[in-house]
Amino acid sequence: MQFFHFPHPIALESGGTLPELTIAYTTYGQLNEKKSNVVWVCHALTANSDAADWWKGIVGPQHVIDPEKYFIICANILGSCYGSSGPLSINPATGQPYFHSFPLVTIRDMVKAHILLRQHLGIEKIFLLMGGSMGGYQAMEWCVMEKDVIDHLFLLATSPTESAWGIATHTAQRLAIEADCTWQNPSPSAGAKGLKAARAIGMLTYRNYGIMVQQQSDDNTEKLDHYKASAYIQYQGDKLVLRFNAYSYWLLTKSMDSHHLARGRGEALPAVLQNIHQRTLVVGISSDILCPLAEQQFLAAHLPHATLIAIDSNYGHDGFMVESAAISLHLADWLR
């Protein structure tokens, strides 16, 4: 992991300002002489800049996005707790962490930070820009904001707007965090129990009825408590609390809610998508209930140079992470 510090004020889409900015990022491989082999990976909600770690089977040696072939960059998003400026960062005006005072950030603000890093690294062209879920939100925004910088676009389990279903889910998650009696405490651990509950809500949308019944049903018909499905949800909540932060989770779900590619652009959504001229591979997961296949079908219908692949998987939204073998085959074939 490396860090880029931008020591100047950054105006945010909400009207707020950050007095300075730090971006944590990770690179793999080497930039070729023509500077034509850049792959930029945009990550989703609780991931970090180490794409080779969280996207195993896609990014890394001998995978489809191989550092022997590509110069791969992944930057931690603005508002996260993995090194980039976020609620746990120190506010230079007070000398204390921002906590609740960190301003609202949008997907466009995150892309603005990515662009600052791109310029710092001297990257003029991105051969392939790719992202799943919230990472896809960033990738689409970037193609609109810098249409001549990106050559190819790869989108997975994503949408050009946040749906009412997604906003409702995120609101329920934030209500869980806000109900934690520690949430207003000025402490890095504030809202930890609420974050566990928020993750539990999220897991019900990342998976689905079929995969939960298949994997988490109990064989013991005599049980009255301590069910396998309950233990699984408890485990997933505890695991996130150990590695993430409630302030960032609350903030970033707000960022996702604000996602609308047509906002402020004076055109309807289909017209905005028509202006994304990059050759695009769109992948959807058949059982996804958070970003259902209908959303990728909408993308493919309006992006002028799109190819749509539907992967038949029981893993729901998490399929964009789990089904790496199938995704790799389709991506490798498309890149030929």
Catalytic residues: 133, 288, 317
Classify residue 211 by its DSSP letter: H
Q: What whole-number distance in Å separates Cα of residue 177 and Cα of residue 247?
A: 9
Classify the phi-psi angles of 72: left when phi > 0, otherwise alpha if psi is within -120 to 50, otherwise beta. beta
* Residue 164 vs residues 45, 248, 272: alpha-carbon distances, Å: 18, 21, 20
Tokens of 139: 């990738």
DSSP per-residue string spanning 289-305: SSS-HHHHHHHHHHSTT
Residues 6+ apart with CB under 8 A from 86: 78, 79, 80, 98, 102, 245, 247, 248, 251
Find where tokens 């072939």 sit.
Answer: 69
